[in-house]
Chains A and B, each alone.
Chain A
Amino acid sequence: MSRPRLDPRALRLARQVEGGGKRPRFALKADPPALHSRRRDPRLLRMRALVPGARRPRYDWKRDAASGAPSAVPAVDPVPANEPIRVESPAFWVLAVLDQSTGALDETDLQLLSVARRLAGDEGGVVALALADPVLATAGADRLAVWPASAVDPAAAEARAATVQALVESVKPRHVLCSDDPVAGGDIARRLAAKAGLRLVSAVNSLTADGRIGRRAGDETWLQPAPALMTIMPGSFAADEQALREARPLELPPIAFEAARLANIGLLPVDPESLPLDETDFIASAGNGVTDFAAFAEAAAALGATRAGSRVVCDAGLLPRDRQVGASGTVVTARCYLALGIAGAPQHLQGITGVRHVIAVNTDLHAEMIKRADLSIIADAQAVMPALARLARQRQEKP
């Protein structure tokens, strides 16, 4: 016999992997098979990518897989995932003026930040002018300037414009971005344009690969280099996922501002039933599972929700046709959709793709609507609706 004898102990020792924690760990395929083996062996690849010495298994897929040896660059500990990206002195700044019209960052604000981020690229930094919000760091803001108290009042549009102007003069951003809302960001942008003599490019709806911006004008698209001041069309850009950034507080410069000429009286109470479905913020919607329409009306009124229904309900004449949600009804963008006894047919779900929060009440655990919802209640709608109305009224009276 010419084959040498195996020494199991020596083999075992050779196959032991470093840093296995308390218990010893062994790599059973320590001697790699022939390099030209046709089959890709994921386990082997994984093993070779394993960085030795790390406490928890860590993989470096850029290591030279063929040789099995660590790459020439020593495996430095990469920046931990929860460490924010820091930008000290970027080539230029992009200023994003946020609306936060609901008090928190909403979809439009995130879209605006993501356009700002795309314009900033790797060299630029993003300054957000906003109400302080911890989420801003995960939304792409390198710096955070917080609105001064004088500019927070809803009627203080002039003070807001003066704040942006002061910030523009001190930070000198290459681009200033506002929302297109004519009573919020769009108003600020126009005041600033009129005061500072800046040219405003409004309703920007696209960004080309070569860094130009586009917008619609009649049956044309107008393309031009990104201007100093623009408003961003809501819904034209997606809110990208952003790497964690610093959102480091930025001191506001002193603001030159004369007396406010607009005085806020307050919000008018609005009857939710008078709003068209695509404008309202909160919809209570009834499907075929609702039989007690008096209780439904009562619950919707107690919650301050606009009533709507599925096609079955509108076909039956239980609600007017303009209250139908879905592909052949109204596509809604409410913040919350309370679906009572609605199965969630595709044609119905198409109408609520833009809704962020869905609450479903249904007797069927396997209804599609239950899968779409972020709060699902498996119960009889006829029992839940009166309880909901009662409790809502109670809670209103208490405080």
Chain B
Amino acid sequence: MTGLAIVVLLSLGRHPATGRPRRNPDDARALATALALAATRSGSRVLAVHAGDPRAPVLRDYLGQGLDELTVLDMPSGSDPLPSLREHLVALSPDLLLTGQRAENGEASGLLPYLLAEALGMTLVPGVVGLDLQGDQGRFTQALPRGRRRQIEARLPLAATIPAGTAGLPLPSFAAARRGRIVSLPALASPDPHLVAIERQPWRQLPRPQPRRLKGSAIDRLKSMTGGGEAKGRLLVDPDPETAAAQILDRLGEIGLIRASHQSVTSRDTDGRTER
């Protein structure tokens, strides 16, 4: 097995409630994944890159996760990181690019990994919570909504976006944070042209949206949407237990919640959550 060049992108986070700078949880998880993967493949290198201010204190927390060196493309905050990152990454030509799913500052559209993967000709897998590499074949576990997990296979070079998940952030160690080095490279700063036409207002919580109702036969539309609807609001008084159970199972079948896969429920947990 040859070593891998793993690039991980780190951005500055922002606590959603207090607004204090912090590690972006997605990126911290991506860094932890990169470090764990490099430890299993000898000769692998983790190249961490941040585009922004090299003096930001939060960067030390990333180093504290066990990172020896962090490259910072020096540019004022608020400028578009894409051109410099693209140039830097093309020169590195990594086997694997790990990023967070979404930034916590600025545009935060989650588009950057896609643009970089496109520029580097990498296959992109979103929402990765587990990965396993055999040679140049990667097997990824994707987190789907509602706690489902899907496995996907693809070949290197690969880019993967990583969600923070519900497990807590890896804690930074103070010693590692002191030991790690920040290497700053000059980079060209281009203002983000798209953010000009935007009107900014203070955020306020919007009221819960209420659906607009049409006049007329709501019942008919409801029926057509629920496919008949006559079974809605069914009431069974004192059925025998078997009938009751059969009714419940039939309803669950209609909703599509009973699947055959439940026979083989195993306690597989890719998110590191503890089993009960």
Contacts and interface: CB of A to CB of B under 8 A. Distances in A.
B206 interface: yes
B166 A392 contact: no
A237 interface: yes
Interface string B230-246: 01111111110110111
A154 to B, nearest CB: 6
A291 B79 CA distance: 62
Given A274-B269, A379-B244, A392-B258, A264 B216 contact: no
A86 interface: no
Contact of A281 (B108, B147, B266): B147
B168 interface: no
A264 B147 contact: no
B238 A268 contact: no
A239 B209 CA distance: 9
Nearest to A393: B263
A218 B275 contact: no
A183 B275 CA distance: 25
Interface stretch (B37-45, B47-55, B114-122, B172-180): B114-122
A103 B265 contact: no
Nearest to B109: A202
B106 interface: yes
A365 B108 contact: no
Interface in B193-220: 194, 197-204, 206, 209-214, 216-218
A242 to B, nearest CB: 8
Interface string B115-158: 10110000111110000000000010111111111111111000
Interface string A279-295: 11110000000000000
A223 B150 contact: no
Interface in A344-380: 357, 359, 361, 365, 370, 373-379
Nearest to A267: B150
Contact of B233 (A274, A374, A383): A374
Given A183-B144, A265-B139, A265-B151, 19 more contacts: A114-B212, A138-B224, A191-B124, A222-B198, A223-B198, A236-B206, A262-B152, A262-B154, A265-B150, A268-B150, A270-B148, A274-B269, A282-B257, A304-B265, A374-B232, A377-B239, A384-B241, A388-B248, A399-B260
A235 B212 CA distance: 15
A261 B125 CA distance: 10
A280 B114 contact: no
Contacts of A379: 236, 238-239, 241, 244
Given A81-B217, A202-B110, A392-B249, A378 B258 contact: no
A375 B254 CA distance: 12
Given A266-B151, A271-B268, A336-B252, A378 B237 contact: yes
Chain A residues touching B, range: 35 or more
A268 B117 CA distance: 27
Interface in A214-245: 216-225, 235-244
A264 B150 contact: yes
A187 interface: yes
Given A240-B212, A267-B149, A279-B147, A183 B249 contact: no
Interface of B: 14, 19, 101-102, 104-111, 114-115, 117-118, 123-127, 139, 141-155, 161, 163, 166, 194, 197-204, 206, 209-214, 216-218, 221, 224-225, 231-239, 241-242, 244-249, 251-252, 255-270, 273, 275-276
B209 to A, nearest CB: 4
Contact of A194 (B115, B139, B257, B270): B115
B209 A238 contact: yes
A226 B268 CA distance: 43
A88 to B, nearest CB: 23
* Interface hub of A262, A370, A391 (most chain B Cβ within 10 A): A262
Interface of A: 81, 101-104, 114, 135, 138-139, 154-155, 157, 181-184, 186-187, 190-191, 193-195, 199-203, 205-206, 212, 216-225, 235-244, 261-276, 279-282, 301, 303-304, 320, 335-336, 338, 357, 359, 361, 365, 370, 373-379, 383-384, 386-388, 390-392, 395-396, 399
Lowest 7 A-B CB distances belong to which pairs? A304-B262, A265-B151, A238-B211, A387-B241, A238-B209, A387-B245, A194-B114
Given A223-B198, A391-B249, A303 B258 contact: yes
19 contacts: A182-B163, A187-B126, A191-B114, A194-B111, A206-B206, A219-B203, A221-B200, A222-B199, A241-B212, A265-B151, A266-B151, A269-B264, A273-B276, A274-B269, A281-B146, A303-B262, A388-B249, A392-B258, A399-B260
A359 B247 CA distance: 10
Contacts of B203: 216-221
A264 to B, nearest CB: 6
Contacts of B246: 391
Nearest to A243: B214
B114 A376 contact: no
Contacts of A219: 19, 202-203
A280 B276 CA distance: 15
B110 A186 contact: yes
